[in-house]
Structure 1
Amino acid sequence: MRFILFLGLFATASLAQSQHEVVSGWPQLPEGQVLGLCAGVGVDAQNRVYVFHRSGRVWSKPFPKEAIAAPTVSVFDGATGRLLSSWGANRFIMPHGLTVDREGNLWLTDVGLHQVFKCSPAGEVLLTLGEAGVPGSDDKHFNLPTDVAALADGSFYVSDGYQNTRVMKFTADGRFEFQWGTKGHGPGEFHLPHGITVDAQGRVIVCDRENERLQVFDAKGAFKHEWKGPQLGKPYGIATGPDGHFFVIDGGSPSLQPQLRGKAVELDPSGQVLDTFGSQGKAAGQFQLGHDIAVGPDGAVYVAEGTGARVQKFVRRKAAE
Structure 2
Amino acid sequence: MPTTLRCPACSAPLEIPAQHAATSRCPYCGVAVLLSERPQGTQAATNDPRADDVGDIVALLRAGQRIQAVKLYRERFGAGLKESVDAVDRIAAGQPAGTVPLPPSGKGSAVGCAVMLLLVIVGAVMIWRLSRAGEETTTPPAAQESRDPVGAVAPGPSAPPAFADEVLRFGSEGTGAGRFTDARGVAVDGAGRIYVAEYQGGRVQVFDSAGAFVTQWIADPKMPLVDLEADRGGTVYVVQYGRIRRYEGATGKLLGELPRPSRMTSYSDVALALDGTMWAVAGTSQIAHLGRDGAVRRTIDLRQAVGDDASPERVAVAGTGDVYVLDRWSDEVYHLAPDGRFVDRFGGPGEGPESTPSPEGIAIDGRGRVLVSDLGRGIRVFDAAGHYVGEFGGQEVVFGLAVTDHDEVIAAFRNRHQVVKFRLDR
Query: What TM-score results when the alignment is normalised by the length of structure 1?
Result: 0.70
Asked if residue 149 in structure 1 is aligned to residue 271 in structure 2, the reply is yes
- 2:212 maps to what in 1? 82
Deviation at 1:308, TM superposition (A): 4.0
- C-alpha contact (below 8 Å) 2:171/2:180 kept by paired residues: no
2:165 to 4, 18, 21: 21
Give distance in 2, aligned partners of 1:211 and 1:293: 20
- C-alpha contact (below 8 Å) 1:212/1:228 kept by paired residues: yes
Give distance in 2, aligned partners of 1:190 and 1:106: 32
- 1:121 maps to what in 2? 249
- 1:267 maps to what in 2? 382
Deviation at 1:297, TM superposition (A): 2.5
Deviation at 1:139, TM superposition (A): 4.0
Asked if residue 50 in structure 1 is aligned to residue 195 in structure 2, the reply is yes
- Once the two structures are superposed, residues 152-209 of structure 1 have per-residue CA deviations (whole angstroms, 9 ceiling, x without a partner) of 343211113xx5232112222122222123569x826564422211112211111112
Change (3 A) 1:295 1:45: same
Deviation at 1:313, TM superposition (A): 1.9
- 1:134 maps to what in 2? none
Pick the structure with more helix per residue: 2
1:247 to 348, 355, 371: 371
- Once the two structures are superposed, residues 221-249 of structure 1 have per-residue CA deviations (whole angstroms, 9 ceiling, x without a partner) of 21111122533413321112223322221
- 1:13 maps to what in 2? none
Question: How many equivalent pairs are there?
Answer: 260
Alignment partner of 1:210: what SS? coil
Amino acid at match of 1:226: R
Q: Structure 1: which 5+ residue stretches go unaligned?
A: 1-15, 58-67, 132-137, 252-260, 281-286
Alignment partner of 1:117: what SS? strand
- Once the two structures are superposed, residues 93-145 of structure 1 have per-residue CA deviations (whole angstroms, 9 ceiling, x without a partner) of 101111222433222111xx2211122222222331368xxxxxx644444x3
- 2:204 maps to what in 1? 73
- C-alpha contact (below 8 Å) 2:289/2:297 kept by paired residues: yes
Give distance in 2, aligned partners of 1:159 and 1:26: 30
Change (3 A) 1:223 1:291: same
Deviates more, 1:238-247 or 1:27-36: 27-36
Asked if residue 236 in structure 1 is aligned to residue 360 in structure 2, the reply is yes
Give distance in 1, aligned partners of 2:174 and 2:360: 29
- C-alpha contact (below 8 Å) 1:197/1:205 kept by paired residues: yes
Deviates more, 1:215-224 or 1:188-197: 188-197
Q: Equivalent residues in 2 for 1:212-223 (5 A)?
A: 212-223=331-342
Give distance in 2, aligned partners of 1:190 and 1:264: 26
- C-alpha contact (below 8 Å) 2:284/2:312 kept by paired residues: no
Q: Structure 2: which 5+ residue stretches go unaligned?
A: 1-159
Alignment partner of 2:329: what SS? helix
Change (3 A) 1:31 1:178: closer
1:299 to 407, 411, 414: 407
Deviation at 1:271, TM superposition (A): 2.2
Alignment partner of 2:368: what SS? coil
Give distance in 2, aligned partners of 1:301 and 1:49: 11
- 1:166 maps to what in 2? 286
Deviation at 1:307, TM superposition (A): 4.1
Give distance in 1, aligned partners of 2:338 and 2:263: 21
Give distance in 1, aligned partners of 2:399 and 2:367: 23
Change (3 A) 1:38 1:30: closer
Amino acid at match of 1:203: D
Change (3 A) 1:90 1:164: closer
User: Percent identity among equivalent residues?
Assistant: 23
Query: What TM-score results when the alignment is normalised by the length of structure 2?
Result: 0.54
Computed over aligned residues only, the root mean square deviation of the Cα atoms, in angstroms, reads 3.0
- Once the two structures are superposed, residues 238-268 of structure 1 have per-residue CA deviations (whole angstroms, 9 ceiling, x without a partner) of 11222332222113xxxxxxxxx42201222
Deviation at 1:302, TM superposition (A): 1.5
Give distance in 1, aligned partners of 2:220 and 2:290: 27
Deviates more, 1:192-201 or 1:226-235: 226-235
Give distance in 1, aligned partners of 2:419 and 2:394: 15
- 1:313 maps to what in 2? 421
